[in-house]
Chains A and B, each alone.
Chain A
Amino acid sequence: MVKLLSKPKQELTKPMSDLDTDTPDNYNYLPPELVENILLRAREDSLYACRLVNRQWNSVASKELERRNLLYWKSWEAISDYGRIIDSPFSPSVFCLEWFGKSMDSRVILPLAISTSKEFSTNPFPTNSLTIYMNCAPVFWNRNSFPRKPQRSMRWDKFFCQYGHFLTDLSFCFYEVTLWQALIHTPNLQVLSIDTCFDKKTDKLKNCDADRITISRNLTTLQITDYCQIYLADWVLRLCDHQLVNLIVTTKNEQLLLCVARRKFEKLKRLRIYSKFSKVFCEIWHGASHPELEYLFIDMEFHRYDIDIHYNIYMDFIGQFSSTLVHLWMNMAPVSRGGFGYLKGKGIIFSKIRTLTLRRHEGIVSWEGTQAKKDAEVLFPNVTDVNFFDVKDAFMNQPINSIPLL
C-alpha cells in the first residue's frame, strides 16, 4: 500500500521535463549514471553514433563498446588470421587466446586502444591467458586507425605494462620479445611458454641473481620449445629453476637440453622431454637435483637410432629417479634390446611407480609370459596400470594436452 501522508512542503523543484521546452544550453551535461544506464542497453551501432554526441557521451559509449568487445572476446571463434580461442593445454578450465599478430580485428584492437588511457578496475581478460604469435615487429595497426594519436600506437611493452598483472598464462611464438620486460610486468604469471623466440642480448640476461627473487614468483610451469635462443632459454631457466613444478622441453637442439641438465630443480614434479637422444644429457643430468620428481615423460626417439652402445646410459638415466617416480612414460619397447634386465641386474627398484606407459614392440602382440614382464614385475612392484602405445602415436602425434599433467 502507498499512501501520501503530506503534501510537499516546498515548491516543487523545477522539473526536468522543462528539458523539452527550455533553452538547450542548460542541458549539455546529464548525470553520468543516467548516460551509463541508457547506453548500457543501447545497440552497438547506436553506440558509435553516441560517441559523436559530445565528450561525455563519447567517453561513456567508448567504455561500453570496450566492455562489450572484451565480452565478445570470450566467445571469439573466428578461426581466421586473427586468432582463436583454444583450451589452455595447461589448465583445462582456462581458455587461452591464440593471437596471430599479422592482422588485427578492430574488435580486438578497439578495447585495447581505448583503454590505453584508462585503468581497468577489473580483469579485462575473460581468459587470463594470452598466446601471442608474432612473426614481425610488434606494430599492429596502421597510422590512421586507433589509437587517437598515432604516436601513441601501442606496442607490446606498453601492453604488458598495462595488462601484464592480469595474465596467468603466456605463450610466445615467433616473437621478438623483450622477455625481461614482459616478465617484470607479469607478477601473477604461472605458465610461460616460449617457442621460437629471440631477444637482444643484454646485460640483463647475463646476470639474473637479483631478478631471481623478484620476477615471476608464481611461475611454476615452463615450456621451452624448439629454436628458442639458447641464452634466452638459459636465462629463463636460471631465473626460475628453483620454483618450477612443471617443465616441458621440446627440442632438437642439444645445447638447449644441456642448459636444462645443468640446472637444479628442487621443486620439479613433472618433467616431459621430447628430443633426440643425447648421450651428454643423460650423463650430466643428476637425479639428486630433482628430489621431488614424480612424473617423467621421456621421448628421446630412442628407437630410431642404433644406439645399443648407449643403452646403459639411457637406463642409468631413468634409474636415477627410482626413489621418487610415480608415473613413467617412455618411448621404449620393453622387449627390445636388454629390456629392463640391465636395471634389474643393478638391483634398482622403482617402489613408488603406479603407472607405466611403454611403447608396443612391433610384431609382439602380448607381453604376457615374456622375460620383460617378469623383469618389470620385479622392477615396478607396486605398479597398478601398464599402458602401451604404438609408434605412430608417439612423439609429435601425441597431442600435448591429451596427456594429463597430474
Chain B
Amino acid sequence: MALVRVISSDGAAFLVSQRLAKRSGKLKTEIETFRKSSDNSEAQPEIRIVTIRAEILRLVLQWLQQHQNDPVLPANQNEQDGRGDAEMGQSQWDRDFLAPMDLGIVMELILAANHLEVKGLLDITCKLVESKITGRTVDEIRTAFKLKSDFKGNEEEQTRLENRWCVEN
C-alpha cells in the first residue's frame, strides 16, 4: 500500500495510506506535487504541515479514517446558503468524537480542517461552535469566546441602531 509521511508542526510523523490522505484536498495536492517533482515513483512522499500540531493532526487523521468510505463532498457544495451538510452527515460517532473536546480544541480543529481542506470535518466542528452563538446575547458570546469589545467611540451604539433598523423593517 502506498504510504505518505505527514509531519506535524512539532515534529510528530504520521504514516498514512495515500488513499486516506487524499481525502484531504491539501494533502492530495501535496502528494501530486511530490509525484511530479520526484523521479522515483516508488519514493514515499513526506509532507510537513507547519501550522498543525500533533494532537490536532492526530484528531484530523482519526476523523478521516472513520469517514474514509464516505462520499467526498465537493468543497463548494451547498454554497448557496453557506451551510454545510453537517446536519445530514453527523453520526453518533462524530458526536462522541467531539463530545470530550473543549472549545479551544474544536477551534483548532476548524483551522486544521480548513487548512487541510476536509469539508466534512469543517462542517461538524463549525456547527458545534455555531451552537454556542445561536440564541446567545452579545455578552454571552463574548464570554464564551473570551473576547472583549474593541469598538471605539459610538461605533457600538451605531451598530446597535443599524441592527434594530434592519431587523424591524
Residues of A whose CB lies within 8 Å of any CB of B are 1-13, 15-20, 22, 24-28, 30-31, 33-34, 37-38, 40-43, 45-46, 48-55, 57-58, 64, 67-68, 71, 105-107, 110, 144-146, 148
A146 touches which one: B12, B134, B165 (CB < 8 A)? Answer: B165
Across the A-B interface, give the 10 residue pairs with the lowest CB-CB distance, nearest first.
A17-B104, A9-B11, A16-B104, A106-B169, A19-B104, A5-B13, A24-B146, A8-B10, A3-B15, A8-B12
Shortest Cβ gap from B69 to chain A (Å): 14
- Whether B162 pairs with A146 at a CB distance below 8 angstroms is yes
Shortest Cβ gap from A69 to chain B (Å): 9
Tell me the dominant secondary structure on chain B's binding face.
helix
Known: A42-B134, A51-B163. A2 touches B16 (CB 8 A): yes
- Stretch of B24-32, B35-43, B88-96, B151-159 with 4 or more beta carbons under 8 angstroms from chain A: B151-159
Shortest Cβ gap from B68 to chain A (Å): 10
- Whether B162 pairs with A145 at a CB distance below 8 angstroms is yes
- Whether A105 pairs with B169 at a CB distance below 8 angstroms is yes
- Whether A40 pairs with B82 at a CB distance below 8 angstroms is yes
- Whether B163 pairs with A2 at a CB distance below 8 angstroms is no
When distances are taken between beta carbons in the complex, the residues of chain B under 8 Å from A2 are 14-16, 20, 58, 61-62, 64-65
Q: Is B127 an interface residue (CB 8 A)?
A: yes
Shortest Cβ gap from A27 to chain B (Å): 5
CA A1 to CA B114, docked complex, whole Å? 22
- Whether A12 pairs with B166 at a CB distance below 8 angstroms is no
CA A57 to CA B64, docked complex, whole Å? 30
Q: Is B99 an interface residue (CB 8 A)?
A: no
CA A282 to CA B53, docked complex, whole Å? 82
- Whether B133 pairs with A31 at a CB distance below 8 angstroms is no
Q: Is B120 an interface residue (CB 8 A)?
A: no
Q: Is B9 an interface residue (CB 8 A)?
A: yes
Shortest Cβ gap from A342 to chain B (Å): 60
CA A291 to CA B87, docked complex, whole Å? 62
5 contacts between A and B (CB under 8 A): A22-B146, A27-B146, A41-B127, A43-B134, A50-B133
Residues of B whose CB lies within 8 Å of any CB of A are 1, 5, 8-17, 20, 53-55, 58, 61-62, 64-65, 80-84, 86, 102-105, 107-108, 110-111, 114, 122-123, 126-127, 129-130, 133-138, 141-142, 145-151, 155-156, 158-163, 165-167, 169
- Whether A34 pairs with B107 at a CB distance below 8 angstroms is yes
Additional 7 contacts, C-beta under 8 A, given A33-B111, A33-B114, A49-B136: A2-B65, A4-B14, A13-B53, A26-B146, A40-B82, A43-B134, A52-B163
When distances are taken between beta carbons in the complex, the residues of chain A under 8 Å from B103 are 17, 19-20
CA A1 to CA B82, docked complex, whole Å? 32
CA A105 to CA B166, docked complex, whole Å? 9
- Whether A57 pairs with B147 at a CB distance below 8 angstroms is yes
- Whether B145 pairs with A52 at a CB distance below 8 angstroms is no
When distances are taken between beta carbons in the complex, the residues of chain A under 8 Å from B136 are 46, 49
CA A107 to CA B165, docked complex, whole Å? 11
- Whether A144 pairs with B8 at a CB distance below 8 angstroms is no
- Whether B163 pairs with A17 at a CB distance below 8 angstroms is no
B151 touches which one: A38, A40, A54 (CB < 8 A)? Answer: A54
Shortest Cβ gap from A309 to chain B (Å): 61
A38 touches which one: B83, B104, B110, B162 (CB < 8 A)? Answer: B110
When distances are taken between beta carbons in the complex, the residues of chain A under 8 Å from B134 are 42-43, 46
CA A24 to CA B54, docked complex, whole Å? 25
When distances are taken between beta carbons in the complex, the residues of chain A under 8 Å from B165 are 106, 144-146
Q: Which residue of A lies closest to B122 (CB)?
A: A37
- Whether A8 pairs with B81 at a CB distance below 8 angstroms is no
Shortest Cβ gap from A251 to chain B (Å): 39
Known: A33-B114, A105-B169. A1 touches B146 (CB 8 A): no
CA A295 to CA B169, docked complex, whole Å? 48
Q: Which residue of A lies closest to B138 (CB)?
A: A52
